[in-house]
Structure 1
Amino acid sequence: MVLVTGATGILGRVILLELLNRGYQVRAAKRPSSDLDEVRESFSYYTDSPDEYLDKIEWIDADFDDIHSLEAAVTGVSSVYHCAGKVSFYPTDEKEIYSTNVTGTANLLYACENSSVQDFCFISSVAVLDGLNETGLMDEDSDFNPKLNHSHYAISKHLSEMEVWRASAEGLNTVILNPGIILGSGNWNASSGELFKTIEKYPYAMPGSTSYVDVRDVAEISVRLMEENIFGERFIVSSENRTYADIARRIRRRLGKPKPKVLSGTILDAGYFLQLIFGGLFPALRIMNRTNLQTVRSRSHVCNKKITEQLNWDFIPVNESLEFHLSNYISHKKNYNITDEYR
């Protein structure tokens, strides 16, 4: 039996499909409020028989603040894929970010102690990486530098990784994946699933760059690493480094929208001062803090050499990934007659 946490998220649901295709018995952890109809819809983007797959899954409600709930979740489980996490860059979400990402991960690992769990895959983020190698890229040795400014999300992922390394030192087989921005279908209103909706709505783009990867690559790589017993290591999972402007242009062109305007440093600086003055009155402005603005202005490039050599992996090109998931996004809007919500 394999447990997947965050199973209704943009990545967790595709890991479920990957595991089922390989013949595993799968238990999926979800919140009581999770919408399985929405999961069924997203399954339909990847398979012609979504109901058949959904019926094979043992769904359970898990409370990451309750160690007994987690102990029940891992009962009879040999492998865990820990995808559950809170992705947000709003300062108002700080408490939930640390509770979900750090405390939740620690509690799950404690539940795994003295259980049947032998292998543990943790989905982290490239946000924890600092420093460049001799080629000017971030790689798996680009350790988190606590002296630099980081978002609460990045800090929480770093602290979560420390919990995983602790468990590894105590004998649990662990592997960590550090994906870039995950391009996927479904979960359109949360996490990286919001990407298409946000870019469609706002005719602006940030001046920096980051790395992108298709959800199908992340899911299959996760399972391959566990199956091949590659533990005690971390792997950057990224297809390409691209500018925010390039991604926004391609998405908006496909959606029939005008080309986005790249925000200048002057405009971003003005946003920072506005949040200093009015952030107390308008909480939404607080996202324009110094750390977040530094992130969207930076041109961070990561190196995927380690995983491509380890698994002889060919990533799905970003343009191909965008076309696939944008087609699904457009289909979703058409099927649900969604118009004003996205304007």
Structure 2
Amino acid sequence: MSQDIPRPLDPDPAEWPVLVTGAGGFVGGHIARRLAEAGHRVRGLVRRPPVERAGDPAIEWIVGELCDSERVRRALTGVRGVIHSAAWVSLGRDRLGVSRAVNVDATRQLLDEARRVGVERFVFTSTLHTLAAGTPETPADEDAPWNLECVESPYGRSKREAEVFVRAASEGGFTTIVLCPGMVLGARDLKPTSTLLVRIMARHPVVVVSGGGIPIVDASIVALAHRRALVLGEPGARYAVVGEYLGFPALARLVAEVGGWPLMVFVLPNFLERPLKATADIFTWLRLTAEFSGPTVAGGFLHHHVSGVRADRCFGLVHPPAVESVRAALVSVGGGRQGL
């Protein structure tokens, strides 16, 4: 009979003190604030003190590196859930091996220590690049064989490796779950990270974009999914947290709708992908740039169709219109061509 009683979507804040790694960043910050606003006791592990604003909920900050075992143990003391959103993120080369040190080794250490001290739920924030690309008619789901060799990078490899051992660690009273967000849009991306593209578009009257596309997702939805993943979702499973698929030309038009610019959008023909990728590889080899890489170019031409149905059903997600996510990303820094 108990199986007929629906399980609450949201964890009881009083019962779930949570550690959020990377809580000073864009995605981690949204997750930590969402939890704190809901009443959770939240501890944030950050590399440097974050920028706080009037009205922000109370969060206990611990400044330290993921490789600092003493700080990590202190951060884990007394929490029931861990949301691990800290990561090294780049599609460029990684000559120093930072991707492996942070995304693999530090994640493994955090996972092992969390299990040792009695944490019950470990939520790992991964990336859409660990999921396959499907078609408009048949978008890929979480079980589709990986097929993104064109955008292979140290970042993607390290995240795929971490996913394997994180998912395998679910056993008994220690459960793990993996969330793979799309391109996250929203306010307070200070660096900026995933909102950089829409900001660049909004600064120029004429933009040139490639013809690929990616599913976007609002930062508020990513935060909600992570909170609910503390108590929902199959242990050891992964979920694509994605909203509407947007081609980059369509994304530019939404930016123009919100901010006024760009006035004109030119789309690169597909035959330019190979020469542009070769040029980027030369630039990378000569160490002229870190981010203009072959995988970056390939990603611009890739149509990354992914289904978020499994996560939407599991976590009760209802996505806002894409234009609202774009507006949040731009208005938070001044909007349109003013203040960007």
TM-score by length of 2: 0.84
Q: Which residue of 2 aligns with 1:62?
A: 64
- Tell me, in whole angstroms, the C-alpha distance in 2 between the residues paired with 1:281 and 1:163: 35
- Tell me, in whole angstroms, the C-alpha distance in 2 between the residues paired with 1:251 and 1:216: 19
- Tell me, in whole angstroms, the C-alpha distance in 1 between the residues paired with 2:191 and 2:95: 16
Q: Which residue of 1 aligns with 2:160?
A: 158
User: Of 222, 228, 231, which residue of structure 1 is paired with 2:226?
Assistant: 222
**Dislocated runs of 4+, deviation >6 Å:** none
Q: Is the 1:94–1:152 Cα contact (8 Å) retained in structure 2?
A: no
Q: Which residue of 2 aligns with 1:292?
A: 296
Q: Is the 1:204–1:262 Cα contact (8 Å) retained in structure 2?
A: yes
User: Of 41, 44, 64, which residue of structure 2 is paired with 1:28?
Assistant: 44
Q: Which residue of 1 aligns with 2:131?
A: 129
Q: Is the 1:105–1:163 Cα contact (8 Å) retained in structure 2?
A: no
User: Of 224, 241, 245, which residue of structure 1 is paired with 2:245?
Assistant: 241
Alignment RMSD: 2.8
Q: CA deviation at 1:149?
A: 5.6
Q: CA deviation at 1:146?
A: 8.7
Q: Which residue of 1 aligns with 2:187?
A: 185
Q: CA deviation at 1:104?
A: 1.9
- Tell me, in whole angstroms, the C-alpha distance in 2 between the residues paired with 1:108 and 1:198: 36
Q: CA deviation at 1:302?
A: 0.8
Q: Which residue of 2 aligns with 1:12?
A: 28
User: Of 308, 313, 318, which residue of structure 2 is paired with 1:304?
Assistant: 308
Q: CA deviation at 1:286?
A: 6.9
Secondary structure in 2 aligned to 1:114? helix
- Tell me, in whole angstroms, the C-alpha distance in 2 between the residues paired with 1:135 and 1:254: 29
Secondary structure in 2 aligned to 1:122? strand
Query: Is it true that 1:263 corresponds to 2:259 in the alignment?
Result: no
- Residue segments in structure 1 that go unaligned for 5+ positions in a row: none
By relative contact order (CA 8 Å, sep 6+), the higher-ranking structure is 2
The code of the aligned residue for 2:199 comes to K
Inter-CA distance 264–332: structure 2 relative to 1 (3 Å threshold) = closer
TM-score by length of 1: 0.83
Secondary structure in 1 aligned to 2:194? helix
Deviation string for 1:187-206 (max 9, x for gaps)? 33232142333333562212
Q: Is the 1:139–1:236 Cα contact (8 Å) retained in structure 2?
A: yes
Q: Is the 1:210–1:242 Cα contact (8 Å) retained in structure 2?
A: yes
The code of the aligned residue for 1:12 comes to G
Inter-CA distance 273–201: structure 2 relative to 1 (3 Å threshold) = farther
Greater CA deviation, 111-120 or 307-316? Answer: 307-316
Inter-CA distance 228–271: structure 2 relative to 1 (3 Å threshold) = closer
Inter-CA distance 134–90: structure 2 relative to 1 (3 Å threshold) = closer
Q: CA deviation at 1:275?
A: 3.7
User: Of 161, 167, 170, which residue of structure 2 is paired with 1:168?
Assistant: 170
Q: Is the 2:104–2:159 Cα contact (8 Å) retained in structure 1?
A: yes
Secondary structure in 2 aligned to 1:308? helix
Deviation string for 1:156-201 (max 9, x for gaps)? 2111111212321475211111110001211332321423333335
Q: Is the 2:283–2:292 Cα contact (8 Å) retained in structure 1?
A: no
Deviation string for 1:241-293 (max 9, x for gaps)? 1101111232145333232322223444332333455544452277242x333
